C-alpha cells in the first residue's frame, strides 16, 4: 500500500491548479491504478475558507468517455481531515445517480467546515460493494501559505461575469494575461489580511500604484484563502453554501442580470442576506440616482426620507469617526500583524501612509441600511476597485462588527469554549435522584443491618451475611438505575428557544433557534433537518483537548440527516439552527376599524401579542387560537414594556441551580495537555449568545418601550415554534420559548 505522505504528494501533483481560495480538483482512479469500476470520479473542493458549509462539487463519468451503458448509483463518503493532527470532525455522504446514456453526472454536496483542511479520505461504493479504484486516504490539497484560522475575519466573495469559472467543467479556463477585466481587489484584501498576507504586504503586492493585469490578480488570489472572485453562474441554488461568506460584492448591472437570468442563484443570495449576510452593490451612481432601482431588485421596503438628504431615501451614511486606515476590530485577531505598529500601507500615488493616518472623508462614498436580518450597502462608484484602503476600512468600520464577525453574529465558537452551553439544559436531565437515593440508602442500612442480622441469627445462618449484604447492595443499585431510566425516559426530549421574523410583504421568513436534546436511547435514524437549514453543533468544549477522530456522519438525501454520532445515548447535545425560506404565514391585520382586528394565520396559538399600527399606536392581544379573529386593545407603552420585560426575564436561559461552570472548567483542566482552541482569535472577546443576531433582535424590539417595533409590525409569543425545523418530529418539547416578529 502506498504510504500516506507519498500518496498525498502524488495526488497533489494530479490536482488542477487552484485559481483562488483553497482546495483543488482531484481525479480518481490515480495514474497506474487498475480500473475496475469503469468510472472516473472528480472532486472539486475549491472555495473560500470560512466557518459554515463548503460546497464540494462531484462529477462521475464513464471510462472510456461516452454514454453510460446502464444506470449506476454511486455512494460517496468524504472525510475532511483537519491540519490539527489530521482529526476528522464530520464525515459527509452523498449518492450520485448516473443514468443510462448520460456522459456524466454532477452533484454538489455541502460539507460543514470549521477549520483548515489539509487532506481528506474518500470512500466510494456501489450496491454496498467498495470501489477500490475510486477510494483513497489522505488526499491532499495544494499547499497554501500558512495562516491562522479566524472566526472573526470576514470572508469575501466578489461576483463578476469576467471571472474564470470554478466548476469542474471550467478547470482549464484561464484569464487572458493581457486583459484587465477582473476587479482589482488589492486594497480590499489589504484591510482584512491575516498573517499569511504579511509577505505580500512586504513585497508591495497590495500597492495599488503598480499596474496589474488579470493574471496578476489571479496569482494574488491563490494565496488569499478568504477572498474569491467568481462568475454568478458558479454559485449553487442553496443559501447554506454561502453561509461561510461574510460579504458578497457585485455591481448593480450584474445584479440585475442575476435577478433576471439566474433566479435560483438570486434566491440563494437573497436567503443568505436575509439570514445575516452583507450584500454590497456598486454602480448605484455618484448621486445615488439608481438607489430606488436597487430597492426594487432586493424587494426592500421604503424608509422614511430625511428632507435634508432626499438622495439617501432614508439610508444611513457613514460617520467620519469610522474613517481610518485600518479595521480596528481586527487588530486583535491572532497573527493579523499587517496592522501592527510600524507597518505602513501604500497609496495609489505611491506615498507611504502610517496606520494612524486619517484623511478627511470628503464626499460620502456609500450608504447602508438593514434589510431583514442582514445589511445592504450601496456604493455610488461605477467601479470602486481598487479604491483606497481607507474607503474599504471605512465600510467595515461603519457596519456593526456583531454583524460581520461570524462568532459574534452566531453567538458561538467552533473552537473556543462556550460556557453558556449549560444555560439551556432540559429541566431535570442529569440531576442526581437525591431524595430517592436517601430513601433507598436508609432502607438499605436498616434492612441490611439489624433486620438482616436478626433474621439470620434466629435461623442460625449468620454465615449467609456474606451473600445477603452484596446482594442487597446490588438490588439497591439496580433500583436507582431503573428509577433514573424511568425518570429520564427512553425517548428524546428537547428544549427549544426560537425567534422567527416574517416579512409578509415579500413572503420571506428567517428563523433562529437554539435546540437542546437529550436521548434516553440514541434514535436509530439520527436527526433530520431540511436541506436548506444551516445546522451548527454547540459544544461546551468544541475542540477536544486531546487528539480524537470524530464519528459524526452527515448523510445528504431528500433531507439533511445527522445520521451518526450527533446524539449519543444518555447525553445532552445542542444545535444552533438557521433557516431562511419563503412562507405564506403571518398575521392578517384589518386597520379599517378602531381597534384593529387580527386573524391568526401563524399556524399555531398566540399566547401574547403586541402590535404597532401604521399610525404608531400600540395594541395588545392574548390567547388567540390558530385561525381565530379578534379585536385588540390599546395599551400604554410603559405597561406593555413592563409586561414583556418580565416575560423575557422569566424565560431567559439560566444555569441550573447550584451549577458553577468555572468549577467544571477547573476540573476538566486537571487533565489538560494542550488547549487547541488557544490559537483561534485569542485577542477577541469570548463567544456569547448575547451578541447573536436573534438575542440582539429581541432586545432591539423592546428597547425604549418597543422603540424597535416599527409601524405595521408585531411581536408575539406562541405555543409552538413557527417555521422552525426540529431534528426529531415526535420529541417531547419542554420549557421552550418561542417568539415571532413580523411586518405586513
The reported pLDDT for the residue numbered 708 is: 78
Contact residues for 455 (Cβ-Cβ < 8 A; gap 6+): none
Q: What are phi and psi of 98, to 5 degrees?
A: -105, 100
For residues 202-216, one letter each, b for 16 or more C-beta atoms within 10 angstroms of the residue's C-beta and e for the rest, the string is eeebbbbeeebbbeb
Task: Give the C-alpha distances (Å, rounded to integers) separating 216 from 176, 220, 307, 473, 524.
Answer: 11, 6, 46, 77, 53
Tell me: pLDDT of 349 over 50.
no
For 121-157, write each residue's pLDDT tens digit: 999 999 999 999 999 988 876 655 556 788 998 999 9
What mean pLDDT is predicted for residues 622-639?
Answer: 93
pLDDT, mean over the chain: 83
Whether 282 and 251 have beta carbons less than 8 Å apart is answered as: yes
Grid coordinates given for 284? 448605484
Helix (H, G, I), strand (E, B) or coil at 454: helix
- Percent of the chain with pLDDT strictly greater than 90: 45
**DSSP code for 451:** I
Helix (H, G, I), strand (E, B) or coil at 568: coil
Parallel, antiparallel, or unpaired: how do β-strands 278-282 and 247-251 relate? parallel
- DSSP conformation letters of 261-297: H-HHHHHHHHHHHHTT-EEEEE-S-TT-TTHHHHHHH
Q: Does domain 4-140 have CATH number 2.60.40.10?
A: yes
The reported pLDDT for the residue numbered 269 is: 97
The reported pLDDT for the residue numbered 586 is: 94
Task: Give the C-alpha distances (Å, rounded to integers) separating 80 from 24, 140, 560, 677.
Answer: 13, 10, 18, 19
For 526-568, write each residue's pLDDT tens digit: 999 999 999 999 998 887 644 455 678 999 999 999 998 898 8
Q: How far apart are the first and last CA of the chain?
A: 64
Grid coordinates given for 472? 442487597
What mean pLDDT is predicted for residues 239-251?
Answer: 96
pTM: 0.86
Band (pLDDT 50/70/90 cuts) for residue 166 is low
Whether 159 and 248 have beta carbons less than 8 Å apart is answered as: yes
Whether 401 and 333 have beta carbons less than 8 Å apart is answered as: no
For 666-705, write each residue's pLDDT tens digit: 544 544 444 555 578 877 888 999 999 888 888 888 877 7
Band (pLDDT 50/70/90 cuts) for residue 66 is very high
Q: Which residues pair with 39 in a beta bridge?
A: 62
For 252-302, write each residue's pLDDT tens digit: 999 999 999 999 999 999 999 999 999 999 999 988 999 999 999 999 988
Q: What are phi and psi of 366, to 5 degrees?
A: -155, 160
What mean pLDDT is predicted for residues 100-106?
Answer: 95
Band (pLDDT 50/70/90 cuts) for residue 178 is low
CA–CA dist 114, 543 (Å, integer): 10
The reported pLDDT for the residue numbered 487 is: 65
Tell me: pLDDT of 415 over 50.
yes
Grid coordinates given for 220? 494574488
The reported pLDDT for the residue numbered 165 is: 76
Q: Which region, left, alpha or beta, applies to residue 489 given φ > 0 means left and ψ of -120 to 50 means alpha?
A: left
Parallel, antiparallel, or unpaired: how do β-strands 366-371 and 136-140 relate? unpaired
Parallel, antiparallel, or unpaired: how do β-strands 633-634 and 713-718 relate? unpaired
CA–CA dist 280, 367 (Å, integer): 10
Tell me: pLDDT of 625 over 90.
yes
Of 490, 577, 589, 475, give the one whose Cα is nearest residue 243: 577
CA–CA dist 305, 319 (Å, integer): 18
Tell me: pLDDT of 171 over 50.
no
Amino acid at each position: 500500500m502506498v504510504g500516506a505522505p507519498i500518496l498525498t504528494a502524488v495526488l497533489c501533483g494530479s490536482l488542477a491548479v487552484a485559481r483562488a481560495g483553497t482546495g483543488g480538483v482531484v481525479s480518481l482512479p490515480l495514474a497506474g491504478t487498475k480500473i475496475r469500476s469503469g468510472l472516473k470520479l472528480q472532486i472539486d473542493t475549491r472555495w473560500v475558507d470560512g466557518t459554515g458549509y463548503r460546497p464540494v462539487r462531484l462529477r462521475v463519468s464513464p471510462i472510456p468517455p461516452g454514454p453510460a451503458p446502464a444506470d449506476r448509483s454511486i455512494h460517496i463518503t468524504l472525510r475532511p481531515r483537519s491540519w490539527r493532527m489530521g482529526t476528522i470532525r464530520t464525515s459527509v455522504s452523498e449518492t450520485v445517480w448516473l443514468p443510462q446514456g448520460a456522459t456524466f453526472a454532477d452533484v454538489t454536496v455541502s460539507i460543514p467546515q470549521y477549520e483548515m483542511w489539509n487532506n481528506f479520505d474518500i470512500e466510494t461504493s456501489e450496491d454496498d460493494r467498495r470501489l477500490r479504484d475510486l477510494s483513497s486516504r489522505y488526499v491532499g490539497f495544494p499547499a497554501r501559505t500558512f495562516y491562522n484560522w479566524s472566526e472573526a475575519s470576514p470572508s469575501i466573495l466578489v461576483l463578476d461575469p469576467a471571472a474564470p469559472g470554478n466548476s469542474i467543467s471550467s478547470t482549464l479556463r484561464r484569464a487572458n494575461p493581457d486583459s484587465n477585466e477582473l476587479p482589482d481587489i488589492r486594497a480590499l484584501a489589504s484591510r482584512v489580511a491575516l498573517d499569511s498576507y504579511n509577505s505580500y504586504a512586504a513585497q508591495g503586492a497590495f500597492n495599488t500604484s503598480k499596474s496589474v493585469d488579470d493574471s496578476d490578480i489571479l496569482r494574488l488570489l491563490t494565496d488569499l484563502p478568504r477572498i474569491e472572485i467568481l462568475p454568478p453562474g458558479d454559485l449553487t441554488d442553496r443559501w447554506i453554501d454561502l453561509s461561510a461568506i461574510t460579504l458578497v460584492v457585485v455591481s448593480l448591472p450584474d445584479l440585475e442580470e442575476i435577478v433576471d437570468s439566474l433566479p435560483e442563484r438570486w434566491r440563494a443570495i437573497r436567503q443568505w442576506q436575509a439570514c445575516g449576510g452583507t450584500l454590497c452593490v456598486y454602480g448605484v451612481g455618484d448621486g445615488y440616482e439608481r438607489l430606488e432601482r436597487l430597492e426594487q431588485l432586493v424587494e426592500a421596503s421604503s424608509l422614511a426620507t430625511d428632507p435634508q438628504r432626499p438622495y439617501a431615501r432614508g439610508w444611513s451614511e457613514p460617520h467620519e469617526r469610522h474613517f481610518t486606515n485600518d479595521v480596528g476590530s481586527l487588530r486583535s485577531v491572532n497573527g493579523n500583524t499587517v496592522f501592527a505598529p510600524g507597518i505602513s500601507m501604500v497609496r495609489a500615488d505611491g506615498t507611504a501612509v502610517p496606520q494612524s493616518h486619517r484623511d478627511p472623508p470628503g464626499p460620502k462614498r456609500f450608504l447602508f441600511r438593514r434589510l431583514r436580518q442582514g445589511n445592504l450597502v450601496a456604493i455610488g462608484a461605477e467601479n470602486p476597485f481598487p479604491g483606497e484602503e481607507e474607503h474599504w476600512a471605512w465600510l467595515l468600520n461603519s457596519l456593526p462588527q456583531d454583524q460581520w464577525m461570524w462568532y459574534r453574529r452566531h453567538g458561538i465558537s467552533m473552537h473556543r469554549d462556550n460556557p453558556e452551553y449549560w444555560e439551556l439544559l432540559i429541566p431535570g436531565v442529569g440531576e442526581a435522584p437525591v431524595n430517592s437515593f436517601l430513601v433507598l440508602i436508609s432502607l438499605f442500612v436498616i434492612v441490611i443491618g439489624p433486620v438482616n442480622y436478626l433474621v439470620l441469627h434466629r435461623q442460625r445462618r449468620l454465615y449467609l451475611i456474606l451473600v445477603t449484604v452484596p446482594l442487597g447492595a446490588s438490588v439497591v443499585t439496580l433500583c436507582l438505575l431503573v428509577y433514573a431510566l424511568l425518570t429520564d425516559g427512553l425517548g428524546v426530549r428537547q428544549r427549544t428557544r426560537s425567534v422567527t421574523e416574517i416579512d409578509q410583504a415579500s413572503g420571506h421568513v428567517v428563523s433562529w433557534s437554539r435546540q437542546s436534546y437529550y436521548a434516553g436511547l440514541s434514535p436509530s435514524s439520527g436527526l433530520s433537518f431540511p436541506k436548506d437549514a444551516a445546522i451548527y453543533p454547540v459544544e461546551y468544549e468544541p475542540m477536544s483537548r486531546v487528539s480524537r477522530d470524530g464519528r459524526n456522519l452527515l448523510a445528504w438525501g431528500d433531507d439533511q440527516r445527522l445520521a451518526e454520532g450527533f446524539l449519543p445515548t444518555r447525553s445532552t447535545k445542542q444545535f444552533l439552527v438557521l433557516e431562511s425560506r419563503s412562507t405564506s404565514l403571518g398575521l392578517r391585520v384589518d386597520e379599517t376599524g378602531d381597534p384593529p382586528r387580527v386573524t391568526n394565520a401563524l399556524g399555531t396559538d398566540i399566547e401574547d401579542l403586541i402590535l404597532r399600527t401604521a399610525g404608531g399606536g400600540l395594541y395588545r392581544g392574548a390567547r388567540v387560537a390558530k385561525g381565530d379573529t379578534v379585536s385588540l386593545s390599546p395599551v400604554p407603552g410603559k405597561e406593555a414594556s413592563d409586561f414583556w420585560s418580565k416575560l423575557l426575564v422569566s424565560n431567559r436561559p439560566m444555569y441550573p441551580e447550584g451549577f458553577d461552570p468555572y468549577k467544571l472548567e477547573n476540573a476538566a483542566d486537571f487533565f489538560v495537555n494542550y488547549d487547541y482552541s488557544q490559537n483561534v482569535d485569542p485577542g477577541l472577546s469570548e463567544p456569547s449568545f448575547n451578541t447573536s443576531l436573534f438575542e440582539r433582535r429581541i432586545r432591539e424590539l423592546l428597547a425604549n418601550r418597543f422603540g424597535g417595533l416599527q409601524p405595521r409590525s408585531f411581536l408575539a409569543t406562541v405555543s409552538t415554534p413557527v417555521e422552525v425545523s426540529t431534528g426529531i418530529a415526535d420529541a417531547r418539547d419542554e420549557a421552550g420559548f418561542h417568539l415571532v416578529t413580523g411586518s405586513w
